[in-house]
Amino acid sequence: DDARAAFDRFSQDLRGLDGSFEQRVYDANGHLSEHSTGTIALRTPRQFRWEYLDPFPQLIVADGNHVWIYDPDLEQVNVRIQSHEEQSSPLAVLIDPDELERQFTVSRGGDEDGLDWMVLTPRGEDAQFDQARLAFDGAGALARMELDDSLGQKTRVTFSGWERNPDFAADHFSFEPPAGVDVVGAMAEAAEVTPIR
Amino acid sequence: CVRAPVRIDADDALLAGQQVREATLERQGAWTLVGRIAVSDGQDGGSGRIQWAQDGERFDIRLSAPVSRQSWRLSGQPGAARLEGLEGGPLDGPDAEALLYEATGWLIPLADMARWARGMRGDGVARVSFDERGLPSLIEQAGWAIEYRDWVDAGDPRLPRRVFAERGQARVRLQVERWEATGG
């Protein structure tokens, strides 16, 4: 199965990944409701940084303990504890390949658009998407991700400019709420963050 | 630096202008806004993409969380609302606001917000102060303070781009990416 072979090769010795994405979201009747671009970074064991640049800025950072969602326009930071089986995005399996089989049943997805497709169906019921598909290009790089949810919303992401095992800045996967924004959500009881008024 | 908001007290002329705006917008009963929303109660909260289509009294509101793309859909009309996308299947109830709050903890005064989001006063008593262009800069109503931080540059009547509503600890903040006139 070419897609699975491509996945194994792509995720081998992969401790970190950095690239750009272009995302389109279609609602149930096929209407394009969102078209955004940005950058994405991943690092073992469970860190990621998803930064929307256009049409609106938004930063999502998972530092391994917490997931921070910062909306500069809305001056709000949502923080929640990053639970271990955090299935926020199937991309996490790229840097933690053993999780692939643990969290998904994997099947072949054909070769539409000349790519090798792999279909991931979440094993747990509480996954937020019904099905995810990953596509690898001729060079064996992850080219696309598609997510379908139970309301018929379809997310289509294309990736470009992958850099394998880059040396990230020290604070690339940490987040400090800027002054003046509302910080809401659950922190671990130990680390108390008082909302900055 | 953030420009201090202009708050000009209402006078007859400003109120007349607001009435004209509201009458015009009431005639445009079908609209859709697409953007981002953040809701919080001081301790907890959420944010995500919102697509709100209104056609007279009928509403169809889709909310989706970032990254996980989990999405909910709240649709219906006064007296009959349905919330879909949650575990356990659709929920039905007479009051959309209560349905959303009980299922997700998100408090959004939907009926009023449908008017506030367009820079209109809700039903009942409201106090308005204006900016230098004669557009509402603050509406105070039903215990809420609704600040108009930014407006779409073009359009007649002008529509808001960033709306911050607050009542005590409750906050609803809306950043509009685009307005679609004919119900989307």
Instruction: Give the model confidence (pLDDT) of B119-170 as tens digits.
Output: 999 999 999 999 999 999 999 999 999 999 999 998 889 999 999 999 999 9
Residue A70 zone, left/alpha/beta (φ > 0; ψ -120 to 50; rest): beta
pLDDT tens digits, one per residue of A17-30: 999 999 999 988 89
Under 8 Å between Cβ of A40 and A166:
no
DSSP state, residue A143: E
Q: Taking CA atoms, what residue in B is nearest to A29? A: B184
Q: What is the pLDDT of residue B184?
A: 39
> What mean pLDDT is reported for chain A?
88
Q: What is the pLDDT of residue A190?
A: 41
| ipTM computed for the complex | 0.86
Q: What is the pLDDT of residue A191?
A: 41
Q: Taking CA atoms, what residue in B is nearest to A125? A: B87
Whether residues A88 and B68 touch (CB distance < 8 A) is answered with yes
Q: What is the pLDDT of residue A172?
A: 97
Who's near A193: CB < 8 A, 6+ residues apart?
A79, A177, A183, A187
Closest CA to A24 of A11, A38, A12, A3: A38
pLDDT tens digits, one per residue of B9-46: 999 999 999 999 999 999 998 999 999 999 998 888 88
Whether residues A151 and B71 touch (CB distance < 8 A) is answered with yes
Q: What is the pLDDT of residue A98?
A: 87
Per the listing, tokens 């999780």 go with: A99
Which of B34, B40, B68 lies at the smallest CB-CB distance from A128? B68
Whether residues B47 and A69 touch (CB distance < 8 A) is answered with yes
pLDDT tens digits, one per residue of A58-99: 999 999 899 999 999 999 999 988 876 555 568 888 888 888
pLDDT tens digits, one per residue of B33-92: 999 999 998 888 888 889 999 999 999 999 987 766 678 899 999 999 999 988 788 999
